Amino acid sequence: MHELGMCESVVDAVERRAKERPVKRVRLRVGTLHRVVPAAFEQGFEMAAWGTVAQGATAELVFVPALVSCGACGAQTETEDGIPVCPRCGSAEVEVEGGDELMLESLEYEAQAEERMDDDVVVGHDHDHDHDHDHDHDAVGGSR
C-alpha cells in the first residue's frame, strides 16, 4: 500500500501549514499516474493523521490526468496509463506531461471552540466565519 507513505508526506505538509490549528478537511491534487486507490488513501490518511492536527479530517482527492502528445501523428490525449502509447496510431513516440502531481491545494480548519471563562467572557471565537481556508499550491514531499 504505497498510499500510506504518500499520506505520511501529506500529513507532514499539513502540520507545517496548519501550525497547530485543528484541520477539518484537506484537498489534494493527485496525478493519475500515482495510481492512488481512494479507499486505501482514506485508510492511510486516517492512520498517518492519528495524533496530529489532521486527526479526524477528511481528505478530498482531485485527480489530474497526464497529457500525452504523440510525436508521430500529433494527437494529444489524456491518459492514466503508466506506459502510454498513442491511442490514435499506437506509436510509443510520445511525450507525457503531468499526471505525477501530489499537491496540497487547500486546508479547511475546524471552527475555533468557544471557551467560557469564570466571568463568562468568550475567548477564541471567530466572529466572521465558522472556519478558515488556507489555499496552498505547494508540492507535497518534493513531488511535482
DSSP 120: -
Architecture of domain 3-64+100-139: 2-Layer Sandwich (3.30)
pLDDT digits (tens, 9 = 90+) for 61-110: 999 999 999 999 999 999 887 777 888 899 999 999 999 999 999 999 99
Number of residues in the chain: 144
* Alpha carbons 101 and 27: distance in angstroms, whole number: 13
User: Helix, strand, or coil here: 129?
Assistant: coil
pLDDT recorded at residue 83: 75
pLDDT (average), residues 44-64: 97
* Alpha carbons 56 and 49: distance in angstroms, whole number: 8
Nearest residue to 35 via CA among 75, 83, 68: 83
pLDDT recorded at residue 128: 33
* Alpha carbons 32 and 37: distance in angstroms, whole number: 10
User: For residue 27, what is its C-alpha cell?
Assistant: 484537498
Neighbours of 104 (CB within 10 A): 23
pLDDT recorded at residue 93: 95
pLDDT digits (tens, 9 = 90+) for 33-45: 999 999 999 999 9
pLDDT recorded at residue 87: 83
* Alpha carbons 79 and 64: distance in angstroms, whole number: 10
Residue 6 pLDDT > 50, yes or no?
yes
pLDDT recorded at residue 80: 82
pLDDT recorded at residue 141: 60
DSSP 113: P
User: For residue 26, what is its C-alpha cell?
Assistant: 484537506
Q: Model confidence at 140, in pLDDT bands (50, 70, 90)?
A: low
